[in-house]
Each structure stands twice: as structure tokens, then as C-alpha cells.
Chain A
Amino acid sequence: MKYTDEFRDAARVKQLADDLRGIIQHPWVIMEICGGQTHSFMHYGIDQLLPPEIELVHGPGCPVCVTPLEMIDKAIALASDSGFILTSYGDMLRVPGSNQDLFSVRASGGAVKVVYSPLDAVQLARDNPDKQVVFFAIGFETTTPANAMSIIQAESLGIKNFSLLVSQVRVPPAMEAILSSPANRVQGFLAAGHVCAVMGFWEYLPIAEKYQIPMAVTGFEPVDLLKGLNDLVTMLEQKKVGVINSYPRAVTLEGNMAAQASINRVFQPSDRAWRGIGTIPMSGFSLRPEYVHFDAEKRFDLGHIKTRESEVCIAGQVLQGVMKPPQCPGFGTLCTPENPLGAPMVSAEGACSAYYRYKKMTS
């Protein structure tokens, strides 16, 4: 595939790693926001190529991981009701709720359907007029335009039996929460390239200024990761503050205006709870008042949900970059991908699953 193979070219990767060794002079703690990048680093063994001065800490950018337990329990409650079809991305199925996961709800006869796109969920609502179809709308700004379009499409087709269980989160408030925490060690961010493809990186400029740190907007292929690191470390060494775009083939400062317009039409920023972390002000999106009839939480009585989190799981610490997965007492023993205690062990973007898959031998 054009624009993929070239960015995995071993000679180029090695050259960039050599360049990085030439640039770096001091130890730096760098956070990659996006869990997809955590996996890329380990999958391609890039973390092994890095100079010892770089410590990578893994950020909260795992949508499945930060979806609150209460939301999972609500999804489970909906899926267990015979009047409903709960639709979701596949990643959510194995995420542990208080008592069970969606996978086991489906195994015991609940209607849980995995979809590729929220538009597939709208189609399911069209095909099943006698059921309420709810889409589990999780994710960062990358998935928000798609979820917004599902509402716009359902509205324009006059589909009444479709709604969203909304748990959308935003990156900038999470960055601020990390930087303003007394436990913070992060000195520079690799900003998530695909979030920025949608949102641009204008929102990050005041954050870089306020906390006096550099950020590099970074892609996902090995060459992209090293390019982002080289640019970021150059800024760190030169004591520069601001945001550099190391992924210009997909990202512009202003981002994708059409996608942002669809988000703003349907959603508005609101406070959100993050699993393991707690509520962060204005860190998510909720449906605008004019779309409240598409809000599953408001529309259906989900009863009284009492959540119960695993006592072993330290996912909140892992997601804030304060602890690493092997420091968790459950890692690889009580908690494995087959029998997960927390979401970061399940998700394709979770740090615990990355360590389990790629680092088990060495940890």
C-alpha cells in the first residue's frame, strides 16, 4: 500500500533512530497520548531502538479503557432487555462491567451487534422498526464526527428507534488534567495524529504555552513515530515551547472543518467521567438539547446502576502515565486478555494489552 510500506522501511527507521541519538543530550519523560501509538511502539520494537535517555509513558488515549464502568453497566442493562438491540464497536465486548461483559450478555441471548460504523447501526434501526437500536458512542474526537453523522442521518430519514449511549471524550482537557497533576512527570507530548486530523492542533497551542512544554503531532507508522520523537526531543533540548506538526501529510493546524462542523451541530462539550481517573471538566461531548431525543440515557429508564470496580486494577494510574502495567499486582497473573480485570488489558489500544502481547517475555 502506498504511504504505508515506505513508512515501515527498516533502513529509514534505523537512520532516524541514529539521528535521535545524535540530538539527545538529557533524559526526557515523553508521553504518547494515543494507545494506538503505544501499540505501534511495541509492535515494531521501536521502544528497543530508542536511546536510554527517553522514557516513554503511556497516555489515556484508549477510548475503551476510559469509558466509565457505569456506562458499560448501562450498555449491559440495555442489551439484556429484549426490546433493544445494542450496537457497539467490537472492542467493547470483552470490557469487564461490574458483574459481566457484553460478550457474556450476547452468549446468554442478549442482542449485542458489533458494527463497523455507526451508520450500520442506523441501518439496523431501519431494518428492525419494532426494536430500539442503541449505538454505544464511545471514543475520542476521531469517532465523534461519525457518531454525529449517525444522528444527522437518522434525523433526515425520520428514524425514531435509534439513539446513542454517549461516552465521547476530548483530548485537550485530559492533557491539562495530566499536566496540572502534582504527580505529573511528563515533559513533552506526542499528540495523537488522527485526533489532530479531525480537530487540527489549534486547541493545543494555549496548553503548550500555559504549561511551557513542547508537543509533536505524530503519526502511527514507525517512521512517523521516530519523526515525532526527533522533532519533540529537538524542541526539548532547545528549550522550545509550542506544537510542531510532525505528521503534515494528514494533519493541518485547523483540521477537518467539515468534520468539526458535524460535531458542533450535534454535540457540545460537557463534563465527563473517565474510568479510573474521575470526572474531568469539559472533557467530553454530550448531545445538544435539540437532539436530546437521541440520547439513550435520557430516553430510557436504566434503573439504578450500582457499579463495582476490581480492587486489584490500577488502570487509572496506568492511564495517567503514573504507573506502568507490570507494576500492577494483577498483570499477567490475575489479569490476562482471556480473563481481564480492567479495560486496558482488553483493548487494541490498551497499554496493559500492549505489554502483555509484546513484552511478556522481557517483563
Chain B
Amino acid sequence: MCLGVPCKILEIYKKDTLTMGKVDFGGVVREVCFETLPDALPGEYAIVHVGFAISKLSEADALDTLGLLKEMNDLADLEDQNQ
């Protein structure tokens, strides 16, 4: 159960006393609790454990780990030069 599952946040709302949200696990939509990730916003990516969002996934860091950030910066530099 320690395996976290990445998801896209679709919406966030209040239910009873809790902040809950709908998330998309690659096609499967589920309700999860956002009390443990209060600054999350729809459109962002997160990791969910046992029905709780525990961490946001940073796009910049994801691209960096994949070695894509540098390529994108190079591309942006190239575009700047071409303008």
C-alpha cells in the first residue's frame, strides 16, 4: 500500500468537513481526500496513497529528471535567437 499512484487533479470541493477532490488515474476517476495537500489545484498532478493526496508532482522536476528540461531550454534559446 506504500505504492503511490500518480493522477491528474480534476476538481476540488468540500464534503462534510473535509476537502475532497476528483482525480484521474489514467482513465479511472476517483474521489480522494485533499486535507493533506491543501494547496493543490485542478489541472496539477499529484501522488495518491490510500485515498489521500500526499504530494504534488512538479512538472519542471519531472522534465529535468528525464533530461528534457535542458533540451527545452536549448529550444527556447534557439527560438529567441531566431526572432
Q: Which of chain B's residues have a CB closer than 8 A to the CB of A195?
A: 2
Query: Which residue from chain A places its CB closest to the CB of B3 in the assembled complex?
Result: A36
Across the interface, do B47 and A116 meet the contact criterion of CB distance under 8 Å? Answer: no
Can you list 15 A-B pairs with a CB-CB distance of less than 8 A?
A6-B66, A63-B1, A89-B1, A89-B50, A116-B50, A146-B49, A149-B18, A157-B17, A194-B2, A194-B54, A197-B54, A249-B57, A258-B35, A258-B38, A349-B1
CA distance A24 to B45 in the complex (A): 35
A248 touching B66 by the CB < 8 A rule?
no
Which residue in A140, A149, A152 is a CB contact (below 8 Å) of B2?
A140
Q: A12 CA to B71 CA in the complex, in Å?
A: 14
**Are B3's CB and A194's CB within 8 A?**
yes
Question: Nearest residue in A to B20 (C-beta to C-beta)?
Answer: A119
What residues of A have a CB within 8 angstroms of the CB of B61 in the complex? 248-249
From B2, B17, B58, give the contact of A61 (CB < 8 A): B2
Neighbouring B residues of A142 by C-beta, 8 Å: 1-2, 4, 49-50, 54
Q: Which A residues are in CB contact (< 8 Å) with B36?
A: 145-146, 149, 256, 258-259, 262
Residues on A with C-beta less than 8 A from B67 are: 12
Cβ of B77 under 8 Å from chain A: no
Do the beta carbons of B66 and A12 come within 8 Å of each other?
yes
A139 touches B2 (CB 8 A): yes
Minimum distance in angstroms from B70 CB to a CB of chain A: 14
Task: Please determine whether A35 and B45 come into contact, CB atoms closer than 8 angstroms.
Answer: no
Q: How many A-B residue pairs have CB under 8 A?
A: 138
- A249-269: CB near B (< 8 Å → 1, else 0) gives 111000010110010000000
User: Is A223 in the interface zone, CB < 8 Å from B?
Assistant: yes
Are B66 and A223 in contact (CB-based, < 8 A)? yes
Q: A197-B54, A250-B55, A258-B36 are in contact. Are A227 and B65 (CB under 8 A)?
A: yes
The reply on A120 being an interface residue by CB < 8 A is yes
Proximity string of chain B (42-71) to chain A, C-beta cutoff 8 Å, 1 when within and 0 when not: 000101011110111111011011111000
Which residues in B have their C-beta under 8 angstroms from that of A152?
A: 35
Q: Is the CB of A149 within 8 A of B33?
A: yes
Contact of A2 among B45, B51, B54 (CB under 8 A): B45
CB distance from A168 to the nearest CB of B (A): 12
B17 touches A262 (CB 8 A): no
Pairs A-B, 5 closest by C-beta atoms: A117-B51, A197-B55, A249-B61, A1-B26, A259-B36
Q: B65–A223 contact, CB under 8 A?
A: yes
User: A28 within 8 Å of B by Cβ?
Assistant: no
State in angstroms the CA–CA spacing of A173 and B2 once bound together. Answer: 18
Q: Give the A-binding residues of B (Cβ under 8 A).
A: 1-4, 6, 8, 16-18, 25-26, 32-33, 35-38, 45, 47, 49-52, 54-59, 61-62, 64-68
> Which B residues are CB-close (under 8 A) to A175?
none
Main SS at interface, chain B: mixed
Q: Assess whether A309 is interfacial by the CB under 8 Å rule.
A: no
Q: Considering the complex, give the chain B residue whose CB is closest to the CB of A120.
A: B51
A63 touching B2, Cβ below 8 Å:
yes
B31 to A: closest C-beta gap in Å: 9
* Inter-subunit contact A143/B1 (CB<8 Å): yes
A192 touches B51 (CB 8 A): no
Cβ B18 vs Cβ A153 within 8 A: yes
Cα A226 to Cα B74 in complex, Å, equals 25
Chain A residues, Cβ within 8 Å of B65: 7, 223-224, 227, 246-249
Q: How far does the Cβ of A14 sit from chain B's closest Cβ, in whole Å?
A: 13
Contacts of A35 in B (CB 8 A): 2
Given contacts A2-B45, A149-B18, 17 further A-B contacts (CB under 8 A): A2-B8, A7-B65, A64-B1, A118-B51, A139-B1, A140-B2, A142-B2, A157-B17, A194-B49, A194-B54, A220-B4, A248-B61, A250-B57, A258-B37, A259-B36, A259-B54, A349-B3
- Contact of A156 with B by CB under 8 A: yes
Could you tell me if B33 and A117 are in contact, using CB atoms closer than 8 angstroms? Answer: yes
Return the chain B residue nearest A143 by Cβ.
Answer: B50
Q: Nearest-CB distance from B27 to chain A (Å)?
A: 8
